[in-house]
Structure 1
């Protein structure tokens, strides 16, 4: 099976022309974040790679270096720590950053009241607070320079509450609503905002969330589908699977969507 690619070469040129020299990618060590970094390197961006594991980031930077004319920058940060998020802004202050891809995040599963409260609050910190902090910091920079792009990772579960992933779905509802509200606010300043809402993805996410995901989209499919729609839509369901799931759910009332997805999640978590 051939890997998907950014639609013609002019697509890479469009991204560079629209957003500038550097892109900040959080969660770059794995999954969707890594796939986005790979695609942006191929498009000629300088990459600022952000995650917690320095060794993994440095290995990725070495892999990306031959693909991009600009040496990647590595920033080790724990996004649950506000000072680390501020440090990302400080360490990129002298770079021509025009694109933020906030791909860092994680999930939990199972009944909310049986879960570890510290883990649930940490997820809110990473998925919501840090994302809002980064979006505010870079959104101000992009608005001042009158161009830029912001990609926020939403999810299929962002559009209704879902049992057994109640808190995770709530964090993604926050992301989805934030993107939808910010898009018209920042558009007059030349800043594009996109919410990317994939379905199940075959990455390390499922293992950390204690879910068994037997089939799903690849991170690269999500990365390509997302980047192709940046500047063209406010929300994208990247890839065939996400679009098929959307089509199967869109005509149902919210309560029925929630019930159907709860059954899906029960199967994933019981088998994990």
Structure 2
């Protein structure tokens, strides 16, 4: 593997991580056989993306790790090489930038990737009218435009080789409008509907497509979105549920909390779901809004 910025981090496969080797679960063997020899994970520096990379490494897949910051990627690569003896390509790329997707496409041209996990993304919260256009545009570029472009690039590659998989990170907020996270929910609705359609379109080409729609998760997302989450999933639960669903259904609701939230809302009229999600989100962002009011000297 090669990398345009600095020498790649490399390792060799350990015999115990070959398909069918002792110590690998049936799920791990299936991941390697169906999506090997290499998986690409964006947003791999933290949270769900980082944990998905760990679980794919345990299945013996080589990895391409992508995020804006190089240091955490190299730290993760060193850890996974030591544990699993795989080969890893580290690509510190900002997919929200104008040339980020082109850079990623060029850097992976000669790499035989069989699985693409689009985990990079971020959210904002609070009243829509308080948001800044620059930040919302950045979120749109990363959560939607980059997912569109990379899904097209890797979807074509996988269709040409006759097998592969796309995992697009959606969210339970994407199933209805969500006040106090209006634009973030809209970006996830885009990802959800795109994945649902591609699941049908690409099946004939041997390509599995999955929308992973977790509920609140303990990751770097909440801090960046200025949210407080009392009850949340672990990235490990989300990663495990996502990979278990890949190739089996179009949408995963990983973790029991995701399923409880979605199934409890599903029977309700859409406008009722919108109001309920707005109330939930208002509670999760209350501390942030209170702090803003205190700074402005207008605390109720």
Match of 1:19 among 35, 39, 53: 35
Are the counterparts in 1 of residues 216 and 229 from structure 2 also a CA contact under 8 Å? yes
**What secondary structure sits across from 1:212 in the alignment?**
coil
- Residue 131 of structure 2: aligned partner: 115
Q: Is residue 183 of structure 2 the alignment partner of residue 183 of structure 1?
A: no
Q: Is residue 106 of structure 2 the alignment partner of residue 90 of structure 1?
A: yes
- Residue 172 of structure 1: aligned partner: 188
- Residue 40 of structure 1: aligned partner: 56
Match of 1:192 among 208, 233, 241: 208
Q: Is residue 237 of structure 2 the alignment partner of residue 227 of structure 1?
A: no
Q: CA deviation at 1:268?
A: 0.7
Q: What is the aligned residue count?
A: 265
Match of 1:68 among 81, 84, 100: 84
Higher relative contact order (CA 8 A, sep 6+): 1
TM (normalized to structure 2)?
0.87
Within 1, Cα distance between the matches of 2:139 and 2:46?
17
**What secondary structure sits across from 1:194 in the alignment?**
strand
4+ aligned runs moved over 3 Å, structure 1:
none
Within 2, Cα distance between the matches of 1:257 and 1:125?
27
Q: CA deviation at 1:66?
A: 2.0
TM (normalized to structure 1)?
0.96
- Residue 106 of structure 1: aligned partner: 122
The unaligned stretches of length 5 or more in structure 1 are 1-7
- Residue 269 of structure 2: aligned partner: 253
- Residue 129 of structure 1: aligned partner: 145
Q: CA deviation at 1:88?
A: 1.1
- Residue 59 of structure 1: aligned partner: 75
Are the counterparts in 2 of residues 21 and 96 from structure 1 also a CA contact under 8 Å? yes
Q: CA deviation at 1:71?
A: 2.0
Q: CA deviation at 1:19?
A: 1.1
Are the counterparts in 2 of residues 45 and 68 from structure 1 also a CA contact under 8 Å? no
Q: CA deviation at 1:93?
A: 1.3
Q: CA deviation at 1:86?
A: 1.4
Determine which structure has more spread, i.e. the larger CA radius of gyration. Answer: 2
Within 2, Cα distance between the matches of 1:21 and 1:69?
14
CA offset digits 1:206-249 (Å, max 9, x no partner): 01001011220000100000000000000010011001111211
Are the counterparts in 2 of residues 217 and 239 from structure 1 also a CA contact under 8 Å? yes
Are the counterparts in 2 of residues 211 and 269 from structure 1 also a CA contact under 8 Å? yes
Within 1, Cα distance between the matches of 2:36 and 2:238?
22
Q: Is residue 176 of structure 2 the alignment partner of residue 163 of structure 1?
A: no
Within 1, Cα distance between the matches of 2:117 and 2:84?
18
**What secondary structure sits across from 2:285 in the alignment?**
helix
Are the counterparts in 2 of residues 51 and 76 from structure 1 also a CA contact under 8 Å? yes
Q: CA RMSD in A?
A: 0.9
**What secondary structure sits across from 2:117 in the alignment?**
strand
CA offset digits 1:135-192 (Å, max 9, x no partner): 0000000000000000000001011001010000000000000001111110000000
